[in-house]
Amino acid sequence: QKEVEQNSGPLSVPEGAIASLNCTYSDRGSQSFFWYRQYSGKSPELIMFIYSNGDKEDGRFTAQLNKASQYVSLLIRDSQPSDSATYLCAVAYNNDMRFGAGTRLTVKP
């Protein structure tokens, strides 16, 4: 059973702080990793993807991948109230893509 695990939260951070979201996966053959954001009542939207070990930065977002430890994380710098949402980690191997349960983030003004 391929599993993707996330801490469901809620994770609460003050405005301007760094939010750190973590995800672990069970399938060592996983090849691609994605972070999605989902606002309440809406469908998920892609934030970032990462394929190689290390860090990948895009604006205030940094994705970190460690295949040996089977975890991927998302850092959000200078968190804003508009970042409050559920963040979904997705792991892909060929045609198969699995999502974690999501971490609910609240950024307090």
Return the ∠ at Cα 14 (arms to 103 and 40), rounded to 5°. 40
Give yes or no for residue 31 binding other proteins (CB under 8 A). yes
* CA angle in degrees (0–180, nearest 5) for 21-23-24: 155
Among 52, 69, 82, 94, binds other proteins (CB under 8 A): 94
H helical segments located in the chain: none
SS3 34: strand
Binding mask 50-89 for other proteins (x = CB under 8 A): -x------------------------------------x-
List of residues contacting other proteins (CB under 8 A): 31-32, 34, 36, 41-46, 49, 51, 88, 90, 92-102
